[in-house]
Chains A and B, each alone.
Chain A
Amino acid sequence: MSSITYLEAIRLAQRRALEEDPRVFIYGQDVGGFGGAFKATKNLAKEFPGRVLDAPISEDAMVGLAIGAAIEGMRPIVEMQFADFSTCGFNQIVNQAATLFYRTGTSCPLVIRLPSGGTPGGGPFHSQSMEALYAHYPGLVVMTPATVEDVYTMLLEAVALDDPVIFCEHKFLYYHLKADKLPEEALPFGKARIARPGRDVTVVAYSAMLHEALAAAEELSSDGYDIEVVDLRCVRPIDTDTILASVARTGRLLVLSEAWPWGGVAAEVIARVATEGFGLLDAPPQRLNARETPVPYHPALWGTHRPTASSVANSLRQLLEL
């Protein structure tokens, strides 16, 4: 069986969406003949003529057009070349798309794909994790799939949703992550997944950080610790119930995020556990984020900037001794 990468799963999901729903079209810079900056739309323009459209270099215009199309009943998928560039379309996303249904009762079935997170040599403008920024806004759904299976089923789910979805796909996983086949079934929308059961500490992670968490959990298992790993899958809505149930089992919490700590997803998870599950905690909840500088260009610096399996393992050992 040929293996399918995370990136191929994104392409196959878009292909299936185009195939199954005539309202779907793809819009973005170089998504047509070129097949997208990362080839996520490779050959789709040929296969679906007139439905995979090149956009001018204006994220503002791209999102604005897509919102208009969504109002008129279409289901656009917008590709940002890099998540970092979505800030140029920020006004359209947070002021127009996010508030449309609230203001007018007209839904805005729009998917914006953000190739997110760092890769070695990505540097400050091509590495950012923007999920917390968009998750701040009521009206937006923010998905952060961590596996090949999830990136496939969740992208289809995003297209099917009537709300605007910020789809944060992780560039570091594009080629590394592989699966034998694509799933036919998925967890319900907005539901977190227990990626690894355990009873000593709960690690909440999402996107690429899931894999660092799993590697750290594996490392600590040789020391006799059972680390439970929760994959959030979707950061807004956030599955507080699954998180609290896990902390109820373990009494200890570490939240991982590749984004900066300030006002981030990790902070939000800890705030929810502290307010709704204070009596479950046997130690102060901890978080591990990227360091508070722009994302460094040099691969060696980048490797120490974001949480890694070994820094996660260190944090876990400290938390276990509190």
Chain B
Amino acid sequence: MFPSPESLNLLPIIMPQLGESIAEATIVRAAFSVGDTVEADTDLIEVETNKAVMGVTVPCGGVLRELTATVGESYAVGAILGYLEVSDEDAERIGLHDAPPAPVEKPKKRQPVGSDTSKSSKKHVEPTVSGLPVPAHAGGASFLSPRMKARMAELGLHAADLAGVAGHGAGGRVTIDDLERFLQDLERNTISPASSMRVAVADAMRRSWTRPLATVVLPVQLDILLAHRKQQIVKAGPALYALRALAIALSEMPTTAGRLIGDRIIHPRSVDIGFAVEAEDGVLVPVIRHADQFPLTDLVERYNRLVELARARRLPGSDTGGSIATITNYGVFGLTMATPIPLPEQTLLLGMGAGKITPFWDVEKKAFVPVTEAQFTLSFDHRVLDGGAAGRLLQRVAQLLGTPETL
């Protein structure tokens, strides 16, 4: 008597996701025969896509019990190609007998009922390959049908909102049915409206994220700056020092703040620098116009007034927008380093980490001395400048902050 299939630890051998745009692959060769003992991560079956020949592996060793795939035939990603009998320990470890996540609706109302499934089983792709944290087909939202677009426009949805939806269409694309099922499932959660501020920030960040963004980091000593600040009657915040330093640095090398539109660099008209102010459920960015043309002391009052207006959400239109770079002082949250996202219309974002007292090797004294140091970051659009240019700009800012009397 053969043991019933349930009593065996039969691990399905699954056609893996072989690349972003690959929906199916052709079986070239089976490297083992039924009954062979195979090891984990060995190439069991060779498959070919239009891009390359690759191997199908299993996460643990075992005995090859069945090969359902035929050489020369094509199978969809996620299709079962055969079965491997594995030990109890391995079955436990890889969660072989764990129930698959419960589907939202009837998983496949179109599954043939009581009919011969052999002819169609090959074409039906399960959206999730067992064991992967993310559905293998989650990338399917890349193609949106006209109906999807119309429905999403109606609901105010963006492609990013569908990032986690597993598609059932060709190549794993998200069909209108997938979308409606997804929306229906959301209704089971607690739902609250996003504030208009939240929606505005989300919109700006999503648009900015379409670009290749990068960040460079530099530790900056702040002792001289802090000493200078102490001597002033009207005290500027560290962010204003940084703003003024960035303004001077950008007036020296304005193309680093340029924008790439098509094959042209759009140079800034004037050195207007914004600074991030947390307000309610989002961030506002007031702007100091011509920040390169006024000494620090002249800017303090303007700066403080703009902060107040922003916090009260009463910032006039003339005091926001049109800036070429932004300062964000995430150090106020106790953060030492971050990679914030520049505004969509800007190339640069200067970030300031929290200052802290750190031992510094003083070459002259031949001893460690305590210094106040903060990590400064410059996040930038990598299409416009590279690490070198970003680094030089950040070095120049650090240098200027070391001579606060010139600001």
Q: Which residues of A contact B (CB under 8 A)?
A: 200, 222-225, 251, 278-283, 317, 320-322
Contacts and interface: CB of A to CB of B under 8 A. Distances in A.
B362 to A, nearest CB: 69
A222 B147 contact: no
A222 B176 contact: no
A223 B115 contact: yes
A322 B112 contact: no
B150 interface: yes
B148 to A, nearest CB: 7
A317 B120 CA distance: 10
A282 B147 contact: yes
Given A223-B120, A251-B176, A321-B169, A279 B112 contact: no
A262 to B, nearest CB: 25
A49 B111 CA distance: 63
B365 interface: no
Nearest to A220: B110
A200 B108 CA distance: 13
Contact of A222 (B113, B123, B145): B113
Interface string B145-157: 1111110000000
B265 interface: no
Interface in B110-159: 110-113, 115, 120, 123, 145-150
Interface in B91-124: 109-113, 115, 120, 123
B109 A224 contact: yes
B169 A222 contact: no
Contact of A280 (B110, B115, B146, B177): B146
Contact of A225 (B110, B123, B176, B177): B110
B183 interface: no
Contact of A224 (B113, B169, B170): B113
A283 B123 CA distance: 17
A224 B176 CA distance: 18
A224 B147 contact: no
Contact of B146 (A223, A279, A321, A322): A279
A279 B147 contact: yes
Contacts of A225: 110
B257 to A, nearest CB: 40
A310 to B, nearest CB: 13
Nearest to A320: B110
Nearest to A200: B110
A283 B111 CA distance: 20
A200 B123 CA distance: 18
Given A280-B147, A320-B110, 9 more contacts: A223-B112, A251-B175, A251-B176, A278-B146, A280-B146, A281-B145, A281-B146, A282-B148, A282-B177
B378 to A, nearest CB: 43
B260 to A, nearest CB: 33
A153 B6 CA distance: 62
A322 B109 contact: no
Nearest to B171: A322
A107 B123 CA distance: 57
B147 A281 contact: yes
A272 B150 CA distance: 18
Contacts of A222: 112-113, 115
Contacts of A224: 109-113
A224 B113 CA distance: 7
Contacts of A280: 146-147, 150
Nearest to A274: B146
Contacts of B112: 222-224
A279 B169 contact: no
A322 B168 CA distance: 9
Most chain A beta carbons < 10 A, residue from B113, B115, B146: B146
Contacts of A322: 169-170
11 contacts: A223-B110, A224-B109, A224-B110, A251-B175, A278-B150, A279-B149, A281-B145, A282-B147, A282-B175, A320-B110, A321-B169
Contacts of B109: 224
Nearest to A283: B145
Nearest to B151: A279
Nearest to B123: A321
B269 to A, nearest CB: 40
A224 B111 CA distance: 7
Interface string B171-183: 0000111000000
Contacts of A320: 110
Contacts of B123: 317, 321
Nearest to B106: A224
A223 B149 CA distance: 29
Contacts of A283: 145, 169, 175
B79 to A, nearest CB: 14
A264 B6 CA distance: 56
B110, B112, B113, B170: most-surrounded residue (chain A CB, <10 A): B110
A225 B124 CA distance: 14
B33 to A, nearest CB: 33
Nearest to A322: B170
Contacts of A279: 146-147, 149-150
Contacts of A282: 145-148, 175-177
A281 B374 CA distance: 55
A282 B168 CA distance: 12
Contacts of B110: 200, 223-225, 320
Nearest to B145: A282
A281 B143 CA distance: 13
A19 to B, nearest CB: 51
Contacts of B120: 223
Residue of B109, B147, B148, B175 contacting most chain A CB atoms (<10 Å): B147
Given A224-B113, A282-B175, A251 B169 contact: no
| Most interface-central of B111, B113, B145 (chain A CB within 10 A) | B145
Contacts of A223: 110, 112, 115, 120
| Ranked 8 nearest A-B pairs via Cβ | A279-B150, A282-B147, A282-B176, A224-B110, A282-B145, A278-B146, A281-B146, A223-B112
A224 B149 CA distance: 27
A282 B169 CA distance: 10
A101 to B, nearest CB: 39
A200 B170 CA distance: 16
A283 to B, nearest CB: 6
A322 B143 CA distance: 11
A283 B115 CA distance: 27
A65 to B, nearest CB: 51
